[in-house]
Amino acid sequence: MKNCYCDALPYNHPSRPGPDFCAMCDRCGKPGHLRHHPGAVPFTGGYCDFHYRLTAVIHPLGPIGIFLWTGAAFAIVAFFFVR
């Protein structure tokens, strides 16, 4: 289960770069999958596996990024207030 449109689009759909992929990556143009944004964002786009994970990590609303960014925000606040 990849949470993508591989199952929704027919294998010979013109937007599919190959049978194992359902879209091109919006970032790097490699074959990837049309997936919903990993974070709490109403956006669906093409992601290769690498950029999907990268988005999950660095995006402030991604499942991992949200912890990184709130952690960073706390660190900055602590830096200025706990001296």
Residues that bind Zn ion (CB under 5 A): 4, 6, 22, 25, 27-28, 33, 48, 51
25: burial class by Cβ within 10 Å (0-12, 13-18, 19+)?
A: buried
Nearer to Zn ion, 13 or 74 (CB): 13
Block residue for tokens 């010979």: 12
Least gap, CB of 39 to Zn ion (angstroms):
16
Q: What's phi and psi for 47, nearest 5 deg?
A: -135, 135
Q: Quick one: 20 or 78, whose CB is closer to Zn ion?
A: 20
Q: Which is nearer to Zn ion, 7 or 82 (CB)?
A: 7
